[in-house]
Amino acid sequence: MRRAFMLVLALLLFGLTSSLSGCSLRSFLGALSTPVPPTAVVQPPPPSSPTQLLPRIVFWTGTASVHESELLQRTARIPVSWSVSNRPEGTNLVFEQVLPDGTIINVELPRSDPWVASAGDGVVAPILPVDSSSIQIRVRLVRLADGAALATESLALVIIRGTPPKRVFEASPDPAPHGGTISLTWSIPGASTVSITRLSEHSQIYLEVIAPSAPAVGSLNYTIPDDYVDSIPFILIADNGVKETLSVAISCPFRNKLTSACPWRQGQIQVAYQPFERGYMIWRSDTREIYVLYLDNEGLFEIHPDSWVEGETFEIGETPPPGKVQPVRGFGKVWAVGHSPYSWVTPSGVRQRLGWALDVEKSFNMAIEIHPHDWNRPDGIILRLPDGSVVILTMEVPPYNWKRAR
């Protein structure tokens, strides 16, 4: 009887505690009937998934102001830089100006590729807002699927009123002496840095960056390379999109020129000269080269090495006609066995192209000038022939050509 009473009491107490703990009588009874293992192993809960980091934009510019006149004329160019972290796929950056009335306009310059990298430098083109002392530029990271903005960052620039500051890019002295030193001076309002590059004299080819990252206002001294003869051009590019060009004239150091153009070099060389029925041969003592100038085929000329050695003779099986001469020595070797290096242009031999010599070769001092062309290479030669005529030999791209200057 006492044992039954204790069992009933235990059941009543369990019912009271189960209502508090949420346990059921069935589970309690099951627990009583289920043996407990000697050592219980408790498994840790599964780790929670990592939290997705939100995108973040860092947006800045190197200038704090913009002039009213540039905004009004739509010539204002503001250099901006950006960096995006935690950028999801399927997003792009949009650069905008927020006007005081809440209107949003795009301030990006035209470009072929609409995609914008997560970090970079660029230029925006804002307009003049109405009744405002500043402009607000912002960049948004938008989802391409629905246009939703995932991150936004803005910056403000003060509008400067009144007369705009003047852009300056100049040199002194101008004209400058050949091979002399000039002082370049510049001031580019609205920019933070500029680069200055030296160009080739004739084709505006970029040759040397002389100031890769200079302040917007500054000066430097620069020595003109020796191969510039008439002028030396420069281009200045600012980080706000401004481009300025400058060409500094160069004084010619030579008083007596063979043509109106100033040469790079001028002098006298010892040459041998021989006229032919359809052209000329000229041997240069300084280079041991033989120039062959043809009167046909639009003034073609060739350069042959002088490989003749003492004692060499050449039999062609023909006798010169009356009044004509067969060339000898170096001229004779090129004439008898030489072929054009431009076989696709002149397939026949030198003898067939030139014909017989009109006189024996003669030696004399010849006036010569060297002129640079593209890339400032010394590939132009001007000679004065014994008859007083001046010829211009151009060696830019084979086959080479020549023409009379006067």
Residues 357, 362, 364, 370: what is their CA dihedral angle, to the nearest 10 degrees?
A: 30
Residue 242 buriedness (CB in 10 A; 0-12 / 13-18 / 19+): buried
- Per-residue pLDDT tens, the chain, 406 aa: give them: 444 444 444 444 444 344 434 433 333 333 333 343 443 333 444 544 455 699 999 999 988 889 898 898 888 899 999 999 999 999 999 999 999 999 999 999 998 899 999 999 999 999 999 989 999 999 999 999 999 999 999 999 999 888 777 889 999 999 999 999 999 999 998 888 999 999 998 878 899 999 999 999 999 999 999 889 999 999 999 988 889 999 999 999 998 899 888 888 899 999 999 999 999 999 999 999 999 999 876 688 899 999 999 988 888 888 999 999 999 999 999 999 887 776 655 567 889 889 999 999 999 999 999 987 655 565 789 999 988 889 999 887 778 889 888 6
The rounded distance, in Å, linking the Cα atoms of 223 and 395 is 28
CA–CA–CA angle 380, 179, 217 (5° rounding):
120
The rounded distance, in Å, linking the Cα atoms of 359 and 351 is 15
The rounded distance, in Å, linking the Cα atoms of 256 and 262 is 9
Kindly state whether residues 289 and 393 are assigned to the same domain: yes
Here the CATH number for the domain that contains residue 105 is 2.60.40.2550
Residue ranges in 304-382 assigned as alpha helix (H): 329-337, 350-354
Kindly state whether residues 173 and 283 are assigned to the same domain: no
Q: pLDDT for 282-309, tens place per residue?
A: 999 999 999 999 987 668 889 999 999 9
Kindly state whether residues 297 and 211 are assigned to the same domain: no
Of the candidates 343, 364, 338, the one whose C-alpha atom is nearest the C-alpha of residue 279 is 338
Question: Which residues make Cβ contacts (< 8 Å) with residue 291, sequence separation at least 6?
Answer: 280, 281, 282, 283, 284, 301, 302, 303, 393
Of the candidates 168, 185, 187, 191, the one whose C-alpha atom is nearest the C-alpha of residue 67 is 191
Give the strand pairing for 168-172 and 181-187: antiparallel
Kindly state whether residues 218 and 246 are assigned to the same domain: yes
Kindly state whether residues 220 and 336 are assigned to the same domain: no
Q: How many domains does the chain have?
A: 3
Task: Decide: 149 and 56 in contact? Cβ < 8 Å.
Answer: no
Domain assignment present for 313:
yes
Kindly state whether residues 156 and 175 are assigned to the same domain: no
Of the candidates 100, 16, 37, 86, the one whose C-alpha atom is nearest the C-alpha of residue 57 is 86
Kindly state whether residues 326 and 206 are assigned to the same domain: no
The pLDDT value recorded for residue 400 is 87
Kindly state whether residues 231 and 332 are assigned to the same domain: no
